[in-house]
Amino acid sequence: MMKYTALHDVHVKMGAKMTEFGGYHMPLWYTSIIDEHKAVRESVGMFDVSHMGDILVEGPDATEFLSYVLPTDFSKVKVMKASYTAFMNHRGVLIDDTIVTKLGDDSYLLVPNAATAEQIYHFIYSMAGGYDVEIKNLTQKLSCIAVQGRNAQNTLQKLTDYDLGSIGFFEAAYIDLKGVDIKENELAGKRVFISRTGYTGEDGFEIVLPNENAEEVWYKILGAGEGYGIKPCGLGARDTLRMEKGFLLSGQDFHPLHEPRTPLEAGISWIIDWDHEFIGKERLAKMKAEKKYDLFRGILLRGRGIPRHGYEIYKDGEKIGYLTSGTMSPILNVGIGLGYVKRPYIKVGTEVQVNIRGRMVPAEIRKPKLVK
C-alpha cells in the first residue's frame, strides 16, 4: 500500500511530478531536475525527506547496544553530535546506511532509509535482548524538511532566534521557530530538532518536526528563502546531487541480496572503529588484511553518452567492473557514474571504457567524489 508524507498534498498543489519511491508517493521534480539541482549548488533548495525513518533508542545500555549493532563506538561520540554509520549483518554485508545522533548519554536518534525503516526497526529490536533499552519507531509521527545550499543558514536564520552558526558540521540542536506552536513530540518536546547534515554535498540543515506542523513550516521556509531564489526540489535533483558527490544510495549501490557489499568495498571503511566489538567485525578484519576486494569508484566519461545502472566497465577488452549509478552531471555537463572496479584498476586517472548499449565510450577512473 502506498504511503504518503504529511506534505503530500502540498506537493500536488504546487504541481510536482510525483513518483513512487521507497513505498512513498514523492515529488520527482517541480520545474526540472537541472533547475532544482543548480538552485542547491548555487544558492538554496528545500526537500521533503519525511519518507526517511526516525527511530529513538533510549536506556542505560543504549550506548553499549548501538556500539555493538553498528561499527561506530558511541562511547567516543559527544552529545548532540551526528555520526554517519551503517547496519551490517554478521558477514559484514551492508543492510543500510544511516545517520545516528547522540541526543544524550543514553538517548539516540537513528535515521534509516525509507525502504528499510521497518526492516531496521525489527532488526535492532531483535538484537536488543539482554540490553536495558527502549526502542520507539516514530517514523509515522514525524516529518523532515531538508534545506540545502550556501544560503541555507541565511534562510533558516530568519525563522529562529537560535544562532544557527553555532551548530557545526554534523552537529544538532533543539530550537524554537518564530510564530510556530510546535506540537508536543517525543523527540524534542515543544521544539524542533535540527542537524547540520544533508545528502547534497552542500552546507545545509535537516529539520525534524511533528507532522501537524510540517505544512506551516514548509511555507515559512519558502517565504524566508524567497530573496535567495529558493526552490522546492524533488527526488530527481536529490539523486543527481548525491551522485556528483559520490554518496551511496541504499538499495542500489549496495543491497544485502542484490548487491552484497561491505563498508570496505563501498568505500566507507572510515566509519569503522576497529578497537571495539561489533557485528561483522571478524570478516571485515580478514578482508582488510587481505585487500583483495573490489572498490567503489567514480567514472567520468570522456565521450558522449549517459552511463546508467548495470553498464559494464572495460580495460583492454577485459571487464573490470560495472556501474551501480549513473547520470549526466548538471555541473560538469558530462556523463558520470559510480560503481565497483577490480582492485588493480582503481587508480585515479586509469583510462577505461564504458559499454553504453554496445558502444564503447572512453572514460577514466576517479574517486567517488566527482564534483569538489
326 and 338 Cβ atoms separated by less than 8 Å: yes
Q: Is 357 helix (H, G, I), strand (E, B) or coil?
A: coil
Q: What percent of the chain has pLDDT over 90?
A: 99
Sequential DSSP letters for 244-294: HTT---BTTTBBTTTB---TTTTT-GGG--TTS--TTHHHHHHHHHH--S-
Residues forming beta bridges with residue 104, ordered by sequence position:
107
Distance of CA 258 to the CA centre of its chain: 19
Residues in the chain: 372
Q: Which helix (DSSP H) or strand (DSSP E) does residue 127 occupy?
A: helix 117-127
Distances (CA, A) of 198 to 29, 137, 141: 18, 21, 21
The reported pLDDT for the residue numbered 79 is 98
Q: Considering the entire predicted model, what is its pTM?
A: 0.97
* Distant-in-sequence, close-in-space partners of 258: CB < 8 Å, separation ≥ 6: none
Question: In whole angstroms, what is the distance from residue 299 CA to residue 322 CA?
Answer: 10
The rounded distance, in Å, linking the Cα atoms of 9 and 42 is 28
In sequence order, the 6+-apart residues with CB closer than 8 A to the CB of 179 are 220
Question: Which whole number is the average pLDDT over 197-214?
Answer: 98
**What's at 340, amino acid-wise?**
Y
Q: Where are the domains of the chain?
A: 8-52+140-244, 55-137, 294-366
CATH tag for 55-137 (out of 1.10.260.40, 3.30.465.10, 3.30.70.1400, 1.10.10.10):
3.30.70.1400
- DSSP for 6-69, please give it: TTHHHHHHTTPEEEEETTEEEEEESS-HHHHHHHHHHT-EEEE-TTS--EEEESTTHHHHHHHH
Per residue in 301-353, pLDDT (tens digit) is 999 999 999 999 999 999 999 999 999 999 999 999 999 999 999 999 999 99
Express as a percent the part of the chain with pLDDT over 70: 100
Angle (CA) 264 198 6, round 5°:
120
Backbone angles phi, psi at 185, to 5 degrees: -140, 155
Is the domain 294-366 a CATH 2.40.30.110 member? Answer: yes
287-304 mean pLDDT: 97
Q: What is the arithmetic mean of pLDDT over 157-167?
A: 98
What's the chain's average pLDDT? 98
Measured CA to CA, the distance from residue 110 to residue 99 in angstroms comes to 6
Side by side, which strands form the sheet with 82-88?
Answer: 82-88, 94-104, 107-111, 55-58, 134-137
Q: How confident is the model at residue 224 (pLDDT cuts 50, 70, 90)?
A: very high
So what's the pLDDT on residue 162? 98
3-state secondary structure of 334: coil
Q: 8-52+140-244 has which CATH code? A: 3.30.1360.120
Predicted local distance difference test score (pLDDT) of residue 1: 86
